[in-house]
Amino acid sequence: MKQTIVAVGCQVALLAYHQVTTFVDFFPFNGARFYSRKERAVKMGVNLLLMGLAVVGTALGIPVLLRYACIYYFVLFAIELIIWWVPYFFAPTGAWRRVYNGLLALGTSDFQGGDTLGRWLAMHQRIHSATTTLLPARPGRIVPNLEHTLLHAATLVTALVTLWAQS
Residue 28 has φ and ψ, to the nearest 5°, of -95, 10
Reference 114, options 104, 126, 123; nearest CA is 104
Question: Around Cβ 73, how many Cβ atoms within 10 Å?
Answer: 26
Position 49 scores a pLDDT of 98
Q: Are 124 and 94 in contact (CB under 8 A)?
A: no
pTM given for the model:
0.95
115: enclosing H helix or E strand: none
Rg, Å, the chain Cα set: 17
pLDDT band at residue 111 using 50, 70 and 90 as cut-offs: very high
Comparing CA positions, the residue from 50, 92, 45 lying closest to residue 71 is 50
DSSP secondary-structure letter at 64? Answer: H
Strand partners, 145: 133
Residue pLDDT, tens place only, 49-102: 999 999 999 999 999 999 999 999 999 999 999 999 999 999 999 999 999 999
pLDDT score recorded for residue 75 = 98
Give pLDDT, residue 106. Answer: 95
Quick: pLDDT tens for 134-155: 999 999 999 999 999 999 999 9
How far apart are alpha carbons 124 and 133 in whole angstroms? 13
Q: Calculate mean pLDDT across residues 26-40.
A: 97
Q: State the pLDDT confidence band at 167, using cuts at 50, 70 and 90.
A: confident
